[in-house]
Structure 1
Amino acid sequence: MPHPTSRLGLIALVVDDYDEAIAYYTGVLGFELREDSPHADGGGKRWVVVAPPGSGEGATCLLLARAVTDHQRSRVGDQTGRRVGFFLYTEDFEAYYRRLTDAGVTIEKPPWDEPYGTVAVFRDLYGNRWDLVQPAAG
């Protein structure tokens, strides 16, 4: 029996504060705010979704999830055991890299070339490690 079509819709990113995270991901990284609405559970929870600029309909987005327990708060900034856990692809590496450096983003490893493209490692406002990647042509 064939598998039904599926896709990744959202990836949860645990954050300290909704508004701080929205300001960073939209202002510094240039992401689009796709949704910001109260969560059905109440209690100040919100459903906050952001996506890289130009992401089409159906693209994988980030769900900014505010940490509410001590265990969740301990994971803010280190959801992946200090590994790079997020990969931001761009068609204009130089412009996006300049955007990051102009905004004072922590560049952990400056650009280098790999067979699959040009890469740099940066940290977001919480310390999560990201690869900025411009895929190689072809």
Structure 2
Amino acid sequence: MSYQLANYQVFVTDQDEALDFYVNKLGLEVRSDVTVAEMGNFRWLTVGPVGQPDTAIVLMAIPGEPVFDQETEGQLRNLLAKGVGSTIFLTTDDCKASYEELSGRGVEFQEKPEERIYGIDAGFRDPFGNQFRLTQVRAGFGS
């Protein structure tokens, strides 16, 4: 039996704001945006990199009852705002150029591109606290 990674979930506090950030600032494309009335208007919202159709990021609203009680939901919101959310690793063939392009679209970086043992790396967060690493991996590293 074999498996493939299809979706990766990140919690967001506002799906419309997330959609704007992930599509208009990061340049990802919408994969699905479906509201399911039978599930209390649950919204299944996914985006993914252009040219990588089999992989998507689920932009999941932090659920309340019955998934999380009110206290847990609040704790998750607080932790997410502190950057304790998910980390997504993006690779690029030119970290410095990608940094300039994303900065020009309004992405605010916490770490500018820096040379590291494994390549060139920069870091930013989405508006909700999820971490991103933008990396140009050095040829031959890890092989």
Task: Give the equivalent residue in structure 2 for 1:115.
Answer: 117
The equivalent of 1:44 in structure 2 is 41
Aligned residue identity for 1:68: P
SS of aligned partner of 2:80:
coil
Matches within 5 A, 1:52-91: 52-55=49-52, 57-59=53-55, 61-69=56-64, 70=70, 71-76=72-77, 78=80, 82=84, 85-91=87-93
| Higher helix residue share | 2
Cα distance change, pair 81–25 in 1 and its aligned pair in 2 (3 A): closer
Equivalent in 97, 100, 103 of residue 98 of structure 1: 100
Give a deviation string over 1:23-75, Cα, whole Å, max 9, x none. Answer: 110000001101111236432211111112322x323x211111232424532
> Within 1, Cα distance between the matches of 2:101 and 2:41?
32
Alignment partners' CA distance in 2, 1:11 and 1:113: 28
**Structure 1 unaligned regions, length at least 5:** none
C-alpha contact 1:16 1:73 (8 A) present in aligned 2: no
CA RMSD of aligned residues (A): 2.4
**Aligned with 1:121: secondary structure?**
strand
Q: Do the aligned residues in 2 keep the contact of 1:32 with 1:53 (CA within 8 Å)? A: yes
Instruction: Provide the identity percentage.
Output: 32
Whole-angstrom distance in 2 between the partners of 1:111 and 1:39:
41
Distance in 2 separating the partners of 1:102 and 1:65 = 26
Q: Which runs of 4+ in 1 moved over 6 A?
A: none
Task: Name the structure 1 match of 2:67.
Answer: none
SS at match of 2:96: helix
Q: Which runs of 5+ in 2 are unaligned?
A: 65-69
Number of paired residues?
Answer: 133
TM-score (normalised: structure 1): 0.81
2:132 counterpart letter in structure 1: W
